[in-house]
Amino acid sequence: MVKPQSLTADTLIDRYCNFLMVEKGLSKKTLEAYSRDLVRYRYFLTQQKIGSFTEKDTPFILKYLIHLRKSGLAARSRARHLVAIRGFYRFLVQEKILHHDPARLVDLPKTRLTLPDVLSREEIECLLQAPDTDKPLGVRDAAMLELLYAAGLRVSELVHIKLQDINIEAGFVRIFGKGAKERIVPIGMQAKEKIENYLETVRPKQLKQGSSPFVFVARADRPMTRQGFWKLLRRYASKAGLNKKITPHSLRHSFASHLLEGGADLRAVQVMLGHVDISTTQIYTHVTRDHLKQLHRKFHPRG
C-alpha cells in the first residue's frame, strides 16, 4: 500500500481527475467542477492542520459540510461537494492508498426537489409555429426548434450536430453528449420534414460557395452558437405569447415529460436523454404523477 503521506494532496486529486477523464469519460466542465470542489475541501483540511487524507477523516468531512452550510451554500451544492468527496475517497481505497473509506457513512444533505419547467403541449405547439417560414432564417429556426423538442437535446448538442450525424431517411440523429458518450435518438416525421426543407432550400444559400460540417449555420459559414440560439428562443417565446421564463432546457424537460405522460418506458426516456443514472431521469416521474392525479380526479368515480 502507498502511504498517503508519500503523495501530496494535490497529486492525489490530479490522479483522481485523470481517472475520471480516462475511465469514466467525464466532460471537461464536470472534471473542472470536481477538481474545484476537492481543492476547496483540501484547503479546509489544511486550515484544520490536516496535511494528508486518512481513514480518520470522517469527522472532518462532517465538519466541512457544516462549514459549507454556514457559508450559505445551498443543500444541492453541498450534496455536489459530498459526491466529489465520496468518489475521491472510494478512489483512494481502490488504489490501495487507504484501507477504509471515511466518507462511506456520511449522508447527503437533504435537498428540495425542484421540478423542471415543462411546457404544455399547446404551448409547445405555439412555440414551434412562431418562426416565419416564408423567410429563410425562419425555415432554419423552425427546424432547430422542432429538432430540439423532437429529440430532447441539450442546446450544446443541437448547435454541434454535423451533417454526418443526421440520417433524414431513417429518421434519427446521432448525438455526442456529456463525456463524449454517443446515443441515437429518433426525430419524428415533422422534424424530418423541417430539417430536410432547411437543408435543401436554405442552407446552400447561407453557405454560398463555402462549406461547413455543421447542420445549422449562422453567418460566415459558422455554426450557430449557444448564445445565438438562446436569443432566438427568447424572441420566439415572446412572439408565441408565452409569458414565462423559457430556456432551451425547457424543451428538453417537456420532451421527457410528454413521453412519460404518453406511456413511454422510463428506461427508454433515460436512453434518449443520455442520462447515465436513471435517478436523474426519475425527476420527470413527479411531473407525470401530477398528471395522473388530475386524470384520476377527473375520470374516477371516487376521484
Highest mean pLDDT (candidates 22-26, 128-132, 243-247)? 128-132
pLDDT digits (tens, 9 = 90+) for 76-101: 888 889 989 999 999 999 999 999 99
HSE, side-chain direction, 13 A CA sphere, residue 258: 19
Q: Which CATH fold would you assign to the domain 4-94?
A: DNA polymerase; domain 1 (1.10.150)
Q: How many CB atoms lie within 10 A of CB 228?
A: 15
Whether this prediction's pTM lies above 0.85 is answered by: no
pLDDT tens readout for residues 212-221: 999 999 876 7
d(CA 158, CA 156): 5
Given a contact cutoff of 8 angstroms between Cβ atoms, the answer to whether 33 and 80 are in contact is: yes
Q: What pLDDT, in 10s, does the model give residues 224-270?
A: 888 899 999 999 999 999 988 888 888 988 888 888 878 777 788 88
pLDDT at 226: 87
Q: How many CB atoms lie within 10 A of CB 78?
A: 21
Question: Where along the chain do its domains lie?
Answer: 4-94, 121-298
> Is 221 or 140 the better-scoring residue by pLDDT?
140
Active-site amino acid positions? 154, 178, 249, 252, 275, 284
Nine-digit cell at 12?
492525489
Give counts: helices (H), strands (E), the chain.
14, 3
Looking at residue 2, its pLDDT comes to: 46
CATH class of 121-298: mainly alpha
CA 291 to chain centre: 24
Consecutive H or E run containing 175: strand 172-176
Identify which has the larger pLDDT, 22 or 163: 163
pLDDT at 1: 45
Predicted local distance difference test score (pLDDT) of residue 5: 47
User: Parallel, antiparallel, or unpaired: how do β-strands 172-176 and 182-186 relate?
Assistant: antiparallel
Q: In the structure, what pLDDT confidence band is assigned to residue 283 with cuts at 50, 70 and 90? A: low
